[in-house]
Amino acid sequence: MTGPAQPHPEWGEPRQSIVARVVAAVRTLVPGPARPPRQGLPDLPLRLARGELASEYLGAEREGDHRRAGATSSAAMDRAIEDGDWWEADVWAHRALWHFERAELTLQAVRLARRIGDIRWAGGDPSSARRYYAEAIDEARDIGAEHEQGLASLGLGRAMLDLGD
């Protein structure tokens, strides 16, 4: 990958408004019914739900085959990276990460966290990339994946340089 593109796209992680932050603070003070934790991923955006890889991915997801769903979404991520579509690559990478975590494929999950950092950096958002590189470094250290730890450290250093740190 070459230098980061400008400006970076919206990643689907909008900043909370002041109203949302106040409501969240009030909810911590007022007891209410506990919400059950979300069990799955949100629906695949319509723009991505077409094509051979999407069809194969949706089938694996429907069957609960996390290994196959992770591999298919990872392949879709690679295709989006080739096309330079950073938003699409980010969506697919997050899905692959989620499925690999559910399948307890730790090395693949570490690799995907690092790749999300690469995608965010290439998409022009080194600040967001930093978070994913740090996660990949920690997880790689925990499982003894020195190669992945080194690649994530390289990415973190590149992002820090871009941020002037």
CB distance 88 to 96 below 8 Å: no
Return the pLDDT at 3.
53
pTM: 0.76
Which class for 58: exposed (0-12), middle (13-18), buried (19 or more C-beta within 10 A)?
Answer: middle
pLDDT tens sequence for the chain (165 residues): 455 554 455 665 556 677 767 777 777 777 666 655 556 788 888 889 887 788 999 999 999 999 999 999 999 999 999 999 999 999 999 999 999 999 999 999 999 999 999 999 999 999 999 999 999 999 999 999 999 999 999 999 999 999 998
